[in-house]
């Protein structure tokens, strides 16, 4: 019985002892992560995009390219799931698709020439979700970036994904060289 008291008191003392706090200098890593772009070349998209700070979310981005739809799904933890595809569209034609949806009622929250943040809700008002559409255009091509339509997001998450989508840039030098190499001489 005495050895149990000894073991319990030892455990109690160890659990009460305060470990010295060691602060790790992550300022350089955070700055680097905030400025880092993710190349999309391995996924058949000629560009790069800034994704959320991995150090704050604690997860790495997951990127899956769907060969059938040509859509790249990018997920970073919960609350961040965008889909992107090079697509010759305009925002008005994308908004016109909403009129064919028999389930959801759509409302534009914020809009400009390249981006839309919108809400969709059930007619009885029981469920509301927020999404975004972005169309990033170059001279002869356009990239559609949208929130995953089958996921539920709040307004803050939709705006965060839109902020990431706005950072998309084309690798124009690579695009010119790839098109030049593709032309038979």
Section 96-113 average pLDDT: 92
What's the confidence (pLDDT) of residue 127? 92
pLDDT greater than 60 at residue 3: no
What's the confidence (pLDDT) of residue 45? 87
* Angstrom distance (rounded) from CA 29 to CA 54: 10
Using DSSP bridges, classify how beta strands 62-66 and 47-49 pair: parallel, antiparallel or unpaired.
unpaired
Q: pTM for this structure?
A: 0.71
* Angstrom distance (rounded) from CA 86 to CA 145: 9
Rounded to the nearest integer, the mean pLDDT of the chain is 77
CB 132 within 8 A of CB 165: yes
Q: What is the dihedral of CA 160, 164, 166, 169, to 10 degrees?
A: 180
Section 83-96 average pLDDT: 89
DSSP structure class, residue 66 = E
Comparing C-alpha atoms, which of 170, 159, 156 is closest to residue 133? 159
**pLDDT tens digits, one per residue of 116-147:** 999 999 989 889 999 999 999 887 889 999 99
């Amino acid at each position: 019985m005495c050895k149990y008291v000894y073991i319990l008191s030892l455990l109690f003392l160890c659990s009460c002892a305060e470990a010295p706090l060691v602060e790790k200098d992550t300022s350089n890593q955070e700055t680097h992560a905030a400025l880092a772009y993710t190349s999309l070349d391995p996924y058949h998209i000629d560009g790069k995009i800034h994704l959320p700070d991995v150090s704050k979310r604690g997860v790495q981005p997951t990127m899956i390219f769907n060969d059938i739809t040509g859509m790249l799904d990018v997920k970073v933890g919960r609350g961040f799931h965008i889909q992107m595809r090079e697509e010759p569209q305009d925002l008005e034609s994308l908004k016109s698709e909403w009129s064919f949806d028999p389930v959801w009622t759509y409302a534009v929250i914020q809009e400009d020439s390249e981006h839309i943040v919108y809400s969709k809700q059930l007619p009885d008002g029981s469920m509301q979700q927020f999404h975004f559409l972005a169309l990033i255009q170059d001279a002869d091509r356009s990239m559609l970036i949208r929130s995953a339509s089958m996921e539920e997001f709040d307004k803050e998450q939709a705006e965060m994904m839109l902020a990431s989508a706005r950072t998309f840039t084309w690798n124009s030098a690579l695009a010119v060289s790839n098109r030049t190499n593709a032309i038979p001489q």
